[in-house]
Amino acid sequence: MFIFAAMANEANNFAEIISHCKEYGYIFQSSELYDGLAAVYDYGQMGAQLKKNLRDSWWKSMTQMHENIVGIDAAIFMHPTVWKASGHVDSFSDPMIDNKDSNKRYRVDHLIESYAEELKVKSDEILEINNIKKSNKEINDDEYGLEANKASVFYNKGAQILEEMDTLIAATDYAALKKLIEENKIKCSISKTCNWTDIREFNLMFNTKIGALADEADTIYLRPETAQGIFVNFLNVQKSGRMKIPFGIAQTGKAFRNEIVARQFIFRMREFEQMEMQFFVRPGSQKEWYNYWKDERKKWHESIGIPAEKLRFHDHIKLAHYADMALDIEFEFPFGWKELEGIHSRTDYDLTQHATFSKKKIQYFDNDLNEEGKPYGNYTPYVVETSVGLDRLFLTVMSLAYHDEKWTREDGTPDGRVVLKIPAKLAPIKLAILPLLKKDGLPEIAKQIMNECKGSFMCFYEEKDAIGKRYRRMDAIGTAFCVTIDHQTKEDNTVTIRYRDDMRQERIALSEVKNLVEKLIG
RNA sequence: GCGGAAGUAGCUCAUUUGGUAGAGCGCGACCUUGCCAAGGUCGAGGUGGCCGGUUCGAGCCCGGUCUUCCGCUCCA
């Protein structure tokens, strides 16, 4: 027996988590044999299972648990026009400019917008000062008029610059855009100079060629989001599934974005997996459903063991081109609060765009009766989207699970363990089956338990090394439970079950093992 | 993409100013032990991230390159 004299020092060091993931088969860098490929990662034998458990848990909560949500699996390749319709071809390629002195890079529109904002602030300041002077009778009406004119010059200048910018961006006239920046002497906030590079465009979509001929019509994109696969299948699913609004279509799958800088381990990768659901609603009811899913999704995260105080909502101030409301569910990662899931009210933007570009009617006939007792009739549904990054969710679970525990033994010597306290229902391996000795018939009993259980949940059999060492290894990979078979088992058919999180042990009937574990992971 | 730091065994690191690499842990086999990282014996594993240069000789000096981490930037 031993006691916990101290159970502290649980520093959640991000670097330690990354290295633990590699050491215990959760995540490897892609193509490590060839020095790796930046911002691309592979899931190992443990990671793939955890990721699958997370995906399955989401899938079940969305489809099985909601009668009005169905799941699909759309292809990564889509018709090129899909991305014209969605707006990604235009808005996913941002013009950028670098300041040569500070090496700071700006999105051109952000740079110009902030300059216009400065002009507006300057204008407001002049007005404010002179309003005070006027009310104190320090200046007369004529003098005030002159100052007010000055203010409006600044104000109009700002508005004019923004207008010009919009025209030039729409025309992709980058030479003229640069000229606009230089003529207005827009400076870098770091270097305070106007020494700019040429404007360059960064397209965030990967493209490739389909078919043998390499002309422009054959260029296709790797999808930058999975959502469009749902929108273009809206009518197929609605009609073949006889779905009635409100209803949802769920999907998990890979998406690809050519991020300029991808960092923070698996937080921002060039290839990543989304789990998303598009919920189609009657126009006008989007606010109600947006709020419904906002709460529902946060509850789901809590249901898989994420503490409420580590989650928060963050409303978007600047909305994407398709949204009328948007927020992030953020998690407090080891490197700060970051987006885990996005909830977007996408209006009828996507369906309308696809109707326009495909020249096909995408509408729904609503037979429900309105207040006047008449059917709501034909309309383009509004959409509320919930979209989680599966890799981010994985990182969330790992960063919560990782614990470096240290304590002092009864004899005063230090002891400790690294343990992944992954919720039992998500843990890659549920049960380790460990014969205390690899003789005296104990392995035979253990293998019998193994055969009984492995059809129901993931098990792991191990007879090498001292029992303590095997427990530590199971802790490190996050195995939820261990059962140990000893000599007493042969006498009374009981085994020791050991709980990972608190290392507690209890004696239970051998015949109860499977039922107990199934109950605990349910 | 810019700036900073780093890269030696699976992991953590050592190798005094250049003289062809070691330890601990881990891993494999066997013996012993048996409820929280036990002991013993034997063993596998490194062209020092990669490429090039200087030198009689490079893990060490120089250049390039790749990757990772931190800061900036980016994240419809």
Which of the nucleotides lies closest to A485 (Cα–C1')? B35
Q: Which positions on chain B have an atom < 7 Å from some protein CB?
A: 1-3, 7, 10-12, 26-29, 33-38, 49-50, 66-76
State pLDDT tens for residues A139-154.
Answer: 888 888 888 888 888 8
Share of chain A above pLDDT 90, in %: 50
Alpha-carbon torsion (A259, A260, A266, A267), positive or negative:
negative
Which of the nucleotides lies closest to A2 (Cα–C1')? B36
State pLDDT tens for residues A48-93.
Answer: 999 999 999 999 999 999 999 999 999 999 998 998 898 887 766 6
State pLDDT tens for residues A297-329.
Answer: 999 999 999 999 999 998 887 777 778 899 999
- Phi, psi at residue A216, to the nearest 5°? -65, -30
Q: d(Cα A209, Cα A251) in Å, to the nearest integer?
A: 25
Ranges A261-265, A439-443, A498-502: which has the least confidence: A261-265
Could you give the angle at the alpha carbon of A283 between the alpha carbons of A280 and A289, nearest 5°?
Answer: 55
Listed ranges A149-153, A173-177, A184-188, A200-204; the one with the highest mean pLDDT: A149-153
On the question of pLDDT at A191 being above 70, the answer is: no
Q: d(Cα A131, Cα A148) in Å, to the nearest integer?
A: 9
Using the structure, give the distance in angstroms from the CA atom of A259 to the C1' atom of B70, rounded to a whole number: 19
Q: Confidence class of residue A253 from pLDDT cuts 50, 70 and 90?
A: very high
Is the whole-model pTM more than 0.90?
A: no
Which of the nucleotides lies closest to A105 (Cα–C1')? B73
What is the model's pLDDT at position A30?
84
Phi-psi label, residue A36: left if phi above 0, alpha if psi -120 to 50, beta otherwise: left
Using the structure, give the distance in angstroms from the CA atom of A513 to the C1' atom of B11, rounded to a whole number: 35
State the ipTM, two decimals: 0.84
What is the model's pLDDT at position A3?
34
Q: Confidence class of residue A8 from pLDDT cuts 50, 70 and 90?
A: very low
